[in-house]
Amino acid sequence: MKSRYIIFADDDADDLELITGFFKHYNNSTEVRECRDGKEVMQLLDGLNHDEPTPLLVVIDINMPRMNGKETLMAMRHNPRYKNIPVVIYTTTINESDENYYSQLGASCFSKPASMEGVRQTARILADFCASQI
């Protein structure tokens, strides 16, 4: 098992498959752990032993069932172990107010691209970021 990993959380299976597929193409040395909602993200993080590394990056969709992206980000930022993990909000709907809010919590925002090339470019940016962290 690879020791460094990224978490992608999105309840849309097609979006998750596209972004993780391109990410793996650009960075095959980083494991991808997929979650369908924020509860799965927090269960994964809370299940880590204290000697296990935290993820290089967590990518979160905002509109998810059970625990949405905003709630997930807040839970991460309130836990001392997770508060410094880089987070990217990856969603179809984002406005300036939301972007400012997420920025104050130390998260970056990416709009989900409408084209396949846009998804590919976004995945490459995320993959390059993770590669630079190792």
pTM for this one? 0.91
Whole-number average pLDDT of the chain: 91
- For residue 23, what are the CA distances in angstroms to 2, 14, 53, 56, 88? 15, 14, 20, 13, 14
Q: What is the pLDDT of residues 111-134, one digit of tens each?
A: 898 899 999 999 999 999 988 886
Q: Given a cut of 50, is residue 1 above it in pLDDT?
A: no
106: pLDDT confidence band, cut at 50, 70 and 90?
very high
CA pair distance 73, 120, nearest whole angstrom: 25
Q: What is the pLDDT of residues 26-82, one digit of tens each?
A: 998 999 999 999 999 999 999 998 888 899 999 999 989 999 999 999 999 999 999
